[in-house]
Amino acid sequence: MAVSDAAAAAPRRLERLQPRDAEGLCALSIEAGWNQVAADWRLMLDLGWGYGVRGPRGQWIASALALPLGPTISWISMVLVTQPARGHGLGTHLLTRCIAEVEASGAAAGLDATELGRPIYQPLGFRDVYPLSRWHAQQGLRHAVAPPGGIVVRAATPDDLQRICAYDRSRSGFARSPIVTHLLTRAPALARIAERADGTLAGYALGRDGYRALHVGPVVAEDQATGLALLSSAFAGADRPLIVDVPDRHGEIRRWLEQQGASAPRGYMRMLRGGSTRIDDGAHIFAIAGPELA
């Protein structure tokens, strides 16, 4: 069934979500065991859009969001249905509605699928890009890994914002300056840059608070050694448990996380529906911003 046909076949009980709905929508992500807080929902709905379904008492029982990350790609996330409402096609209805609108705009649709979600997305035309693992670590990591010679890792400041945004555009494949700006101001204690002697950037790391743990990411850098130095520096400054989503290709970072006692009980698959984009490579991505922020 085509995306548009599937959406048309489902009951039409959808409401367009608004930033003011952020607090109420948090109940869905909390029930699912996810890490988002109201600030995440509000950011996604300020910059993107989504649909939801309400229950008989006016509470949100299902959602799906789409976040534009430039003219050629939008990220789909927060496809959630509360437990009592599952099995009636609400999630598929919301998902296909978002896909149809993304593609009507001429963009490709991307998402990060869990092991349970991937078999649902594949028949809808999503293809694998690369696997990721979500790592959980306790607080108390005190020693950052030194960066490569000629590079200094330091705390990022608001004066670095313009350079970070330009660097991210050139390396990540996304146009997400508003997200980068939000993360730098939201969790400055986690923000780092890697800087060469001539003042040019070799990478950056950002993070945010979460419902269950601090989230470190994105980490974007020239090479894995620099990415690890940025990640470990952000970890060393954290005072709560942490999570980070790392592409599996980065073995050096994976080994360091294991040495710190971190575990990775959950995996994702980065997936795309539509034409090839620059995110197919991902060589400079050492931690993603998160399944909802790419």
Q: pLDDT band for position 2 (50/70/90)?
A: very low
CB 62 within 8 A of CB 85: yes
* pLDDT(11) > 60: no
- 68: tokens are 């534009």
Question: Same structural domain for residues 143 and 282?
Answer: yes
Classified as helix, coil or strand, 46 is helix
Question: Same structural domain for residues 220 and 156?
Answer: yes
* Closest by Cα among 286, 276, 271 to 95: 271
Q: What is the pLDDT of residue 138?
A: 86
Looking at the domain assignment, is residue 227 inside a domain? yes
* Closest by Cα among 86, 45, 36 to 66: 45
Q: What is the pLDDT of residue 140?
A: 64
Q: What is the pLDDT of residue 139?
A: 73
Q: What is the pLDDT of residue 144?
A: 87
Question: Same structural domain for residues 167 and 68?
Answer: no
Looking at the domain assignment, is residue 114 inside a domain? no
Q: What is the pLDDT of residue 5?
A: 37
Q: What is the pLDDT of residue 86?
A: 92
Last residue of a domain, one of 51, 86, 106: 106
Q: pLDDT band for position 245 (50/70/90)?
A: very high
Q: What is the pLDDT of residue 239?
A: 83
Question: Same structural domain for residues 229 and 96?
Answer: no
Q: How many structural domains compose the chain?
A: 2
Question: Same structural domain for residues 86 and 149?
Answer: no
Read off the pLDDT of each residue in 219-237 and give the average, rounded to a whole number: 95
CB 185 within 8 A of CB 207: no
Residue-wise pLDDT for 27-83, tens only, equals 999 999 999 999 999 999 999 999 999 999 999 999 999 999 999 999 999 999 999
Other beta carbons less than 10 A from residue 14's beta carbon = 19
Pairing of strands 242-247, 127-137: antiparallel
Looking at the domain assignment, is residue 113 inside a domain? no
* pLDDT(6) > 70: no
Which residue matches tokens 């995440």?
40
pTM (predicted TM-score): 0.92
1 or 37, which is more confident? 37
Question: Same structural domain for residues 146 and 268?
Answer: yes
Looking at the domain assignment, is residue 170 inside a domain? yes
Question: Same structural domain for residues 83 and 150?
Answer: no
Looking at the domain assignment, is residue 121 inside a domain? no
Q: What is the pLDDT of residue 167?
A: 97
Residue-wise pLDDT for 178-219, tens only, equals 999 999 999 999 999 999 999 999 999 999 999 999 999 999
Handedness of CA 245, 289, 183, 94 (dihedral sign): negative
Looking at the domain assignment, is residue 179 inside a domain? yes
Which residue matches tokens 């999503």?
126
Question: Same structural domain for residues 167 and 272?
Answer: yes
Which range marks the domain in which residue 33 is found? Answer: 3-106
* pLDDT(8) > 80: no
Q: What is the pLDDT of residue 143?
A: 78
CATH code of the domain containing 270: 3.40.630.30
Question: Same structural domain for residues 283 and 150?
Answer: yes
Question: Same structural domain for residues 141 and 272?
Answer: yes
- Answer whether the bond into residue 218 is a cis peptide, omega within 30°: yes
Looking at the domain assignment, is residue 118 inside a domain? no
Residue-wise pLDDT for 89-140, tens only, equals 999 999 999 999 999 999 999 999 999 889 989 999 999 999 999 999 987 6
Looking at the domain assignment, is residue 128 inside a domain? no
Question: Same structural domain for residues 173 and 232?
Answer: yes
Residue-wise pLDDT for 149-183, tens only, equals 999 999 999 999 999 999 999 999 899 999 999 99
Question: Same structural domain for residues 94 and 159?
Answer: no
Which amino acid is it at 180?
V
Residue 110's beta-bridge partner residues? 75, 272
